[in-house]
Structure 1
């Protein structure tokens, strides 16, 4: 047993002993405890330090170590905070559901990341270990990111490395871009339904939201033109490659029209390219940014979705004065993404393990998608699939008109199944009841059981509707 484990063992014994003593009682000295536990003075001191750090003991130099206790105080009164804080910007219901992890016993059909067995764990461990031994592991790196990592990330977009800004995850990238491009009170336009995290990011930045309906060919340019004219918005948020939650892909004709509208109105298009590596039936269309020579499009790319939730590495690709403003603003955020994470990501992206991981991941995700599609078809009366997407990790499912999606999501969670409440994917009132089901975090047997339970709940609620 090493010294750390021995110190933890002694700390646990002393913790239980302290619980039987009164506040202010003195513990035996280090020498006496060393004899009692047959341990070195350093090990005993480490155990006492652990308990002191937890506030369970109080060390007084020259006097000894005593059992600590909290001072009695009146019940706190936080009522003053509500008027001081003002109205909350971020919708707590939407935020709470978006961040719901569930427990080990739950069937996870709502999680926007991949299951542990689909992550390149061995390759990540090898690269992280190598990075931790490197000279730059714990040093400051350029605010915009490691030059070599920026070069690799730029390749997918035909961009210059200087156009790339490394940020800690796609959600942070989205918050940062919206807050930098727009001022509080401005309007940002989004396709609808849309990624709930975008709504939260806009709310956190104090922005108003205007929704434009989208179908399976993406946002409708005719309606986008009307909203741009009415709101004078300078920012439009889109997912052209594989929209969350619908899986829609912006058609070639609409891509050209969106770029023309951006140029006509002097607007930025924030391209959320989260599914760049998740084309399951062939590669996704090229980034919208590659068709825009004048800097209207800013792209957000992320490794988190395709690698692991803990690899918080994303990139913002932006050109011209907008790119310069974003790079300047980064210094006010967090100085830089930790070098250890960047070195790990760089090592993975440039290793032979990367293409192998992508090939295996796409194959297994396609299997899970097809399995979920098959189970949904078997319950078509309750769960009607809008279409089978060519990529991504989500399915958009239509429910009978009588279903309250919020109540269904709560009932499903009580039944051990986590699903995405479709109402959270709309800015305004949803036109029909939907749920989003994700196939990336559950095994095929779990998918089958989760769909079965959900269909049963929908059938019960449909039958009880008068």
Structure 2
């Protein structure tokens, strides 16, 4: 059994047993609990820590764990209805909205109920994360001289240099800022480059978290369609002319959700179009380290081919490690870097130094290339397992592009015919999402990936957040049952 579930189960058992002890009564020792429940000492320690956090037990070093005193009766809830007026007063005049829609982000962050297969996850399953390597890196980092002091505002020079080498071209450590994860870096970049009320060009479809950032900043996302070769240059040029936008946000490599890679012939065109428009490109290079085993040589980041400072590059370690390993880089040439730096300092001060030191330890260790090779092999295996299962169980679902990197597939649902017309018109994706959840599998509807009306109904399925290929096969079978329920 996985360690996390063992901790939860033991905490439940101990919680049930607390009534056997009077307040202040001592619980059995850790050694007794290890033998009684046949779990590890770490599991016992974590379960007791969980109960202590809930205020149910008190732990005393060297003495043991004791049942906490009875809690006092909570005070009666106050009247918070006045907040409805305060939060909405003059809201119509706000350039930057105070109400933020986080639903598109929460879809991939919220853990599904127990027993539900997670096809909606946005991160590697714990079995794929380099937990031992990260733990060792964090331990070594904590012992580095000055590791707990204040870091340079821009980030540790060695870590900035590592990211700069990964970008290539003329990028140097002086062009890089260390940020707290890709979402934070994207937020900083959009705030720096576009004033509230301005249009910002986005790929269609695109990452819902980026759309949420733009709207929360008071920006107007304008869609530019993509195909299997990435954003379409003629439509991009038209969008710049029609809107006067000064920013394009794109994912040239393994785009989310389509998995597309910007074609070699389009790369210089996209750069030229943006430069002619006097606009910046925010390059979200979020899954470069999740390449599949059968992929050919990867194209360089757009920033590597941009000496003129058109591209603001965002790269991150999070997707290839853990959702809690929030270390990323913002890279840019020219005066814009100072604006990025100023906004980041005001918003977050700096990324905690121990985490930066741990990142350096991790990427400099022999475990890092081994981890990347292992997930490259495993992601291809999982991708192939999911595509095979979908073709067998749900052949009506169109899979126009099979990516050679990333962690998900983008499927177009059948056009409405007969009894399915209503199901897969407006709200049809939500109907399938709800039916799938009832069947025991969590999926992501396609609508949140579009900034305007979508051309068809889609779903996104992740193959990285599940335990393995067996769970993928079972999840697709459950999805077929949900589909049959609707048709």
3-state SS, counterpart of residue 401 of structure 2: coil
Match in the other structure for 1:312 = 326
What is the CA distance between 1:321 and its match in structure 2? 0.4
Gap change, CA 1:51 and 1:201, over 3 Å in 2? closer
Counterpart CA distance in 2 for 1:224 and 1:353 is: 42
Q: How does 1:41-440 map to 2 (within 5 A)?
A: 68-72=72-76, 74-77=78-81, 78-84=83-89, 86=91, 89-158=99-168, 159-280=171-292, 281-402=295-416, 403=424, 404-440=428-464
3-state SS, counterpart of residue 138 of structure 1: coil
What is the CA distance between 1:92 and its match in structure 2? 4.2
3-state SS, counterpart of residue 252 of structure 1: coil
What is the CA distance between 1:88 and its match in structure 2? 5.0
3-state SS, counterpart of residue 348 of structure 2: coil
In 1, are the aligned partners of 2:109 and 2:122 still within 8 Å (CA)? no
CA deviation digits over 1:97-121, x for unaligned, max 9? 2432213422111111111111111
CA deviation digits over 1:375-401, x for unaligned, max 9? 111134332211211111111111112
Gap change, CA 1:15 and 1:283, over 3 Å in 2? farther
What is the CA distance between 1:89 and its match in structure 2? 4.5
- Which has the greater radius of gyration? 1
CA deviation digits over 1:416-462, x for unaligned, max 9? 21111111111111101110111111110111111111122223323
In 1, are the aligned partners of 2:399 and 2:411 still within 8 Å (CA)? yes
CA deviation digits over 1:344-382, x for unaligned, max 9? 110011111111110111001110001111111113433
3-state SS, counterpart of residue 251 of structure 1: coil
**What is the CA RMSD across the aligned residues, in angstroms?**
2.8
Gap change, CA 1:208 and 1:310, over 3 Å in 2? same
3-state SS, counterpart of residue 414 of structure 1: helix
3-state SS, counterpart of residue 110 of structure 2: coil
What is the CA distance between 1:85 and its match in structure 2? 7.7
What is the CA distance between 1:283 and its match in structure 2? 3.4
**1:445 is the counterpart of 2:445:** no
Unpaired stretches in structure 1, ≥5 consecutive residues = 1-8, 19-32, 38-46, 58-64
In 2, are the aligned partners of 1:55 and 1:68 still within 8 Å (CA)? no
Gap change, CA 1:145 and 1:407, over 3 Å in 2? same
In 1, are the aligned partners of 2:435 and 2:483 still within 8 Å (CA)? no
3-state SS, counterpart of residue 365 of structure 1: helix
CA deviation digits over 1:109-147, x for unaligned, max 9? 111111111111111111111112223332110111111
Counterpart CA distance in 1 for 2:90 and 2:435 is: 33
CA deviation digits over 1:281-305, x for unaligned, max 9? 1332111111111000111101000
Gap change, CA 1:104 and 1:137, over 3 Å in 2? farther
3-state SS, counterpart of residue 455 of structure 2: coil
Gap change, CA 1:426 and 1:17, over 3 Å in 2? same
Unpaired stretches in structure 2, ≥5 consecutive residues = 1-13, 28-47, 59-68, 92-96, 417-423
In 2, are the aligned partners of 1:228 and 1:265 still within 8 Å (CA)? yes
In 2, are the aligned partners of 1:98 and 1:196 still within 8 Å (CA)? no
Gap change, CA 1:111 and 1:283, over 3 Å in 2? farther
How many residues align structurally?
Answer: 421
3-state SS, counterpart of residue 373 of structure 2: helix
Counterpart CA distance in 1 for 2:452 and 2:363 is: 40
Counterpart CA distance in 2 for 1:55 and 1:373 is: 47
